Amino acid sequence: MSRVVADIIAQDPVAMKQLRAARQLALPDWCIAAGFVRNRVWDRLHGISPPRLPVDIDVIYYDAADVSKEREREHEAALDRLLPGLPWQVRNQARMHVWKGLPQHKDTADSMIYWLESVTGIGVRLEADDTLSVIAPLGTDDLLNLRCRPTPFGHRQRHEYDERIAAKRWRELWPKVRFLD
């Protein structure tokens, strides 16, 4: 099923241009995740073409040697020079455990299991040979079957999950999606 996600992204020239820009940073263990993937897949499955632009472009990576926010800002500035005016958001997953009160994540995929929804913890990386790798530690079944549910972490943070779903207006934007417990 990861191949279906990769194919949807590969057929989107805007997404591929953004992935090529992110690849130029040569970040360790990187991908573009969250709404970048989820929104494009759900738009395709709802017959929305071209896909709506994401509110932000979540570039994530894992670098335990440099967990400074300043480095993230430098990466965002570099992306803005490559593709100006886009809502780049670069986050080093090696420091994301702190505000969640968790042990340090092992890598990018490990950090994604602590996101709130099953359909958000999915990313894509453009490899050097121009193939797409899908990073989906919780799988892609929910995304492709138009289901959304809290992750185990999302269950523990249920109020945040519920507030996020409402604030993002996913029920309105994608009416075919079933929201499960």
Would you call 28 exposed, middle or buried from its count of C-beta atoms within 10 A (0-12, 13-18, 19+)?
middle
- For 125, the 3-state DSSP assignment is strand
State residue 97's pLDDT score. 80
67/64 Cα distance (integer angstroms) = 6
**What would the pLDDT profile of 130-181 be if each residue is shown by its tens digit?**
999 999 999 999 999 999 999 999 999 999 999 999 999 999 999 999 999 8
What's domain 2-179's architecture?
Answer: 2-Layer Sandwich (3.30)
What integer pLDDT is reported at residue 54 of this predicted model? 83
Q: What span, in angstroms and rounded, lies between the C-alpha atoms of 60 and 164?
A: 20
Query: What residues does each domain of the chain span?
Result: 2-179
Question: Is 90 exceeded by the pLDDT of residue 99?
Answer: no
Tokens for 60? 């994530």
CB half-sphere exposure, 52, CA atoms < 13 A: 15
Map tokens 């999606």 to a residue: 177
pTM of the full predicted structure? Answer: 0.95
Please tell me the predicted confidence (pLDDT) of residue 181.
82
Which tens digit of pLDDT belongs to each residue from 43-54? 999 999 999 988
Q: What is the DSSP letter of 150?
A: B
Judge whether residue 72 has pLDDT over 80. Answer: yes
Instruction: Note the pLDDT tens digit of each residue in 74-89.
Output: 999 999 999 999 999 9
State the pLDDT confidence band at 102, using cuts at 50, 70 and 90.
Answer: confident
Which residues have a Cβ under 8 Å from the Cβ of 102 and sit 6 or more positions away? 114
The DSSP output letter for 123 is E
